Amino acid sequence: MNWLEQLFSAELTIGSSHILWREIVGNAFGFASAIGGMRRRVWAWPVGIVGNLLLFTVFFGVAFSNPQQETLYGQAGRQIFFIITSVYGWWRWNQVRARRHAGDDAPAITPRWATAAERLQYVGFWVAGVVVMQWVFASIGSGPFWQAPRWYFWCDAWIFIGSIVATYAMARGWNDFWLAWIAVDLVGVPLLWHSKFYPSAILYVVYGALVIYGFFVWLKASREERDPAPELSEVSA
């Protein structure tokens, strides 16, 4: 086993629990990205991508021989969608910042609420997506070596679709994205703890506090920096 393999499989043992260091490091990158998002900094996106890559290898345990018995297909799959959406968000925030001629340390966007039409679209996508994806996860996740109750796949689908909605809403600069994250965390924390992904579960609790604080930060900014013609509307989706 070379040094790269040793680094990849490094574990922290607490009692009878074995926790991968890449789960801890991946979540640390995710937390840093959340702080950057709250501050509306473009660097939040590439930092988040690094965390997504690490966490994909953690949650797709069936392919990486992880110590947890459960494989969370929704958690693993959403890391891929995070990366795709993060590339879009990275580009969009850079475009907006360039239009505003803002410096590297200036907020990239001015937040706003989604319109009624936009809100109807993402809520409809969320509901329909959960119904479809719970069936997909149940179909690919059930096998002779591992069985899970149906509620497990409903929860995984809720987190998967909700995370896509929240990340896209963040890329668009909508205040709604903080509320979407709260809805994801309410299901994500119990599911992750049940599945023995303890660092991720604990970080989700910390995220919860950060999300509540971040919501009020963006809400204040949307009121104080309100523009009759928001710059986000000037950049094509």
Overall average pLDDT of the 155-170 stretch:
90
Task: Encode pLDDT of 60-96 as tens digits.
Answer: 764 555 545 455 666 777 788 889 989 999 999 988 8
C-beta pairs of 90-99 under 8 Å, 24+ apart in sequence: 90/42, 90/45, 90/46, 92/171, 92/172, 92/232, 92/235, 93/40, 93/42, 93/45, 93/171, 94/42, 95/235, 96/173, 96/231, 96/232, 96/234, 96/235, 97/42, 99/231, 99/234, 99/235
Residue 195 domain-assigned (yes or no) = yes
Residue 120 domain-assigned (yes or no) = yes
For residue 206, give its domain range: 19-234
The per-residue pLDDT of the chain, averaged, comes to: 81
Residue 231 has pLDDT above 50, yes or no: no
Task: Encode pLDDT of 168-191 as tens digits.
Answer: 999 899 999 999 999 999 998 898
Residue 193 domain-assigned (yes or no) = yes
Residue 4 domain-assigned (yes or no) = no
Residue 5 domain-assigned (yes or no) = no
Residue 210 domain-assigned (yes or no) = yes
> Which is more confident, 131 or 138?
131
Number of C-alpha atoms within 13 angstroms, CB side, residue 130? 18
Residue 204 domain-assigned (yes or no) = yes
Give the CA distances from residue 103 to residues 86, 91, 100, 108, 185, in Å, rounded to whole numbers and listed in that order: 21, 16, 9, 9, 33
- Of 62-66, 112-116, 214-218, where does mean pLDDT reach its minimum? 62-66
Residue 12 domain-assigned (yes or no) = no
pLDDT at residue 22 in the model:
84
Total of domains in the chain: 1
Q: pTM value?
A: 0.75
Task: Encode pLDDT of 196-210 as tens digits.
Answer: 777 778 878 888 888
Q: Token pair of 147, please?
A: 């069985």
